[in-house]
Structure 1
Amino acid sequence: MKHGLNPQSDVLVSVVSPICNAESWIGEYLQAISALLAHEYKDYEIVLVDNGSTDNTVAVVEQLQQELRNIQLYSLARSIPHESAFVVGLEQAIGDVVITLDAAYDPIDPILEMVQLAYSGVDIVYGLRSDRLSQKGGFSLYNWLSQIFFRFYRQITKENLPIAASTLRLYTRRAINSFLDNSDRYSLFPVIAAFSGLRYQTFTYQRLNRTGLPTNQSYSAAISRAFRLIFLSSHYPLRLLSFTALAGAFLNVIYSFYVLFVNLFKSKVAEGWTTLSLQNSVMFFILFMILAVLSEYIARLVMTNQNRPFYFVTRESRSLVLVRKKELNVVRNDLKS
């Protein structure tokens, strides 16, 4: 099987990778991915987004930029959610095809297959994590809950998003243009590509760990992210609560008829403390649920109307050699006067 593209092809391949406190392993990663891209593609770039590192990650990358080609580094002033950092990189990348790759956990070998899949007529390629597709390696509550969420998400939003989709993805320029103007793009990176309705392909890969540290899975962060994705992607929660509110109102009407019936046909009416307390409990539960969801939507509206920048780049550096720039600035001797 032939890998990669024709060396004379004019396609530009971009790889976007957020990094944070990667001093111990970023050198090995950049050496490996630079070698692969340089061997397979004529034009490429590696876009790194430093997400608030507190070690010497930036210094290590800038040292490597002196010997490795086409590496761009954007250092953020403060840490932002990891998935949002991918969108920062997508905004800076100029490739005809752009690959998002988690430098800490995603392998680089699938890049060749992903580009080949893009040439089969699709605009999006999703990498599916094998550990989230099967339980052969042992039961994982986190992965099981992830599958449940994605199935529920697909059901309520009707978006064609594959289950177990990871951060390892490929987008064509058309796919990127379809969502970069979305005001909620920094929060919706896991699902936003599905909004376009463009064709996609999938492949399965095995995750790795370059950091050497145990992977900490935060259930609280995952639950918060799940609610955020549902609230920002669909009006379904509001519609559901609208029906709940109507049901509560209808129950109040029935209860009113019940009170009238008791007073008409019963000579001695009890004080009704239990029934009244139960009614108040149910009504207040519905009321506060509605207020909670409305507060979430209002909070998002307030944040949007403030027009504050989501991130700020404090430092920007590039490799000493940029292949495309070098070629565009060649002066032929025979043209000199």
Structure 2
Amino acid sequence: MDQLISIILPVFNEEAGIQSTIDTLLNYVEQQKERYELIFVDDGSKDNSAKIIEKSMQLNENIKLVRFSRNFGHQLAITAGLQYATGDAVVVMDADLQDPPEVIPEMIQKWHEGYDIVYGKRIKRDGETVFKKFTASAFYRIFKKISTIDMPLDTGDFRLMNRRAVDQLRKLHEQDPFVRGQVTWIGFKQTSVMYHRQERIAGETKYPLTKMISLAIDGITSFSMKPLQLANIFSIVPIVSGIFSLGYLLASGSYSLASVGVTILLFTLGLLLLSIGILGSYLGRVLDQVNNRPRFIVSETKGFQERNKGIHHLHARSQN
């Protein structure tokens, strides 16, 4: 069976463990019947990650490198990898080996059974704090309640997609993509495989709290209008409650005009500011789309040879 499997690995400052990742993946692919290409997308690393990858490329022609001109973010690194992957199926996984390669054969088996998309569902997460596990679990459940898509719980970006699914993803134009949401949105026949998410082999997490919050906001504002509806409700509630409260105080005669006024004003102002913040998140996404800037800029590619000569390094404009 001469099928090609592309493995996309976003990389950002993974110098401490990238060689172990390369060695582990090469050892894995050498034992498989399918052909493989390993596409590392360097997301503006400041360390020697790219140099280590380039050194390994000299020993194995199946390793390929896409380098961003700066850091554009994990989700756009995945998006770029999808643009360059040519496999019959594409696997997306982290470069820190928290997503074990041993799960890939099970994904491939599901693909051969007729599934277009096979996502990894985490049954256990090692090396993460209780706070991170709790917030991640809470996000997936809240997102499922308020979004317009039925995204599976406890899944990340570790998944296999066949060629037609990848081709559809490449047609999506979001400036701030939420890839796992996009994969759910395109539909097709999907299933899961259970796996145990491992602890990082080296280095530090590239998803601190601030980036987790940013990813959550991108996901919610991409696939849910309910925060906008909540903003409208929050704007109405203080007005109605203020009218009834003021009416009661006036009827009872036990009130301090100054204290009541200040209380209502502060309460209303707080909720209105919250509403403005929610609206601003959506308007910000609209502004990004209207600006029509490239979603990312590729400074160079290595290992793709002739087939990349026709790909402009600014190819990731919204029309792609």
User: Which bin holds the TM-score, normalised by the shorter protein?
Assistant: 0.7 to 0.9
For 2:100 and 2:29, locate their aligned partners in 1 and report how far apart those are by CA, in whole Å: 13
Alpha-carbon displacement from aligned partner over 1:5-51 (angstroms, at most 9, x marks no partner):
xx3x4x32111001233345433432432343344244332111011
1:301 to partner: Cα distance? 1.5
1:108 to partner: Cα distance? 1.2
For 2:38 and 2:246, locate their aligned partners in 1 and report how far apart those are by CA, in whole Å: 68
Which one of 69, 76, 79 corresponds to residue 61 of structure 2? 69
Matches within 5 A, 1:265-276: 272-276=257-261
TM-score of the two chains, using structure 1 as the length reference: 0.80
Partner of 2:223: 233
Instruction: Indicate the larger mover: 57-66 or 286-295.
Output: 57-66
C-alpha spacing 1:158/1:308, structure 2 compared with 1 (3 Å)? closer
Partner of 1:118: 111
For 2:162 and 2:138, locate their aligned partners in 1 and report how far apart those are by CA, in whole Å: 29
The answer to whether the Cα contact below 8 Å between 1:83 and 1:190 also exists between their aligned partners in 2 is no
Structure 1 spans left out of the alignment, 5+ residues: 1-6, 323-337
Partner of 2:78: 86
1:252 to partner: Cα distance? 4.7
Partner of 1:248: 238
1:86 to partner: Cα distance? 1.3
1:72 to partner: Cα distance? 1.6
C-alpha spacing 1:186/1:296, structure 2 compared with 1 (3 Å)? closer
1:220 to partner: Cα distance? 3.1
Letter in 1 for 2:68: L
Partner of 1:329: none
Alpha-carbon displacement from aligned partner over 1:202-245 (angstroms, at most 9, x marks no partner):
12222335642354762233223222321222111001221222
SS at match of 1:286: helix
C-alpha spacing 1:218/1:121, structure 2 compared with 1 (3 Å)? same
Which one of 10, 19, 29 corresponds to residue 27 of structure 1? 19
SS at match of 2:179: coil
Structure 1 runs (4+) deviating above 4 angstroms are 214-217, 255-259, 319-322
For 1:25 and 1:185, locate their aligned partners in 2 and report how far apart those are by CA, in whole Å: 30
Partner of 2:150: 160
Q: Does 1:301 align with 2:286?
A: yes
SS at match of 2:180: coil
The answer to whether the Cα contact below 8 Å between 1:124 and 1:200 also exists between their aligned partners in 2 is yes
For 1:138 and 1:92, locate their aligned partners in 2 and report how far apart those are by CA, in whole Å: 32
Q: Does 1:143 align with 2:143?
A: no
For 2:256 and 2:176, locate their aligned partners in 1 and report how far apart those are by CA, in whole Å: 56
Letter in 2 for 1:121: G
| Aligned length in residues | 306
For 1:299 and 1:280, locate their aligned partners in 2 and report how far apart those are by CA, in whole Å: 28
Matches within 5 A, 1:287-298: 287-298=272-283
Matches within 5 A, 1:251-262: 251-254=241-244, 257-258=247-248, 262=251
TM-score of the two chains, using structure 2 as the length reference: 0.84
Instruction: Indicate the larger mover: 144-153 or 280-289.
Output: 280-289
Q: Does 1:196 align with 2:186?
A: yes
Structure 2 spans left out of the alignment, 5+ residues: 308-320
Partner of 1:108: 101
Which one of 298, 310, 325 corresponds to residue 295 of structure 2? 310
SS at match of 2:161: strand
SS at match of 2:124: helix
SS at match of 1:144: helix
The answer to whether the Cα contact below 8 Å between 1:72 and 1:317 also exists between their aligned partners in 2 is yes
Letter in 1 for 2:298: V
Q: Identity over aligned residues, as a percent?
A: 25
For 1:61 and 1:82, locate their aligned partners in 2 and report how far apart those are by CA, in whole Å: 18
SS at match of 1:160: coil
For 2:59 and 2:142, locate their aligned partners in 1 and report how far apart those are by CA, in whole Å: 48
Letter in 1 for 2:191: Q
Instruction: Indicate the larger mover: 208-217 or 86-95.
Output: 208-217
RMSD (Å), alpha carbons: 2.9
C-alpha spacing 1:119/1:206, structure 2 compared with 1 (3 Å)? same
Partner of 1:179: 169
C-alpha spacing 1:297/1:14, structure 2 compared with 1 (3 Å)? same
C-alpha spacing 1:101/1:216, structure 2 compared with 1 (3 Å)? closer
Instruction: Indicate the larger mover: 142-151 or 224-233.
Output: 224-233
Partner of 2:313: none
For 1:144 and 1:33, locate their aligned partners in 2 and report how far apart those are by CA, in whole Å: 31
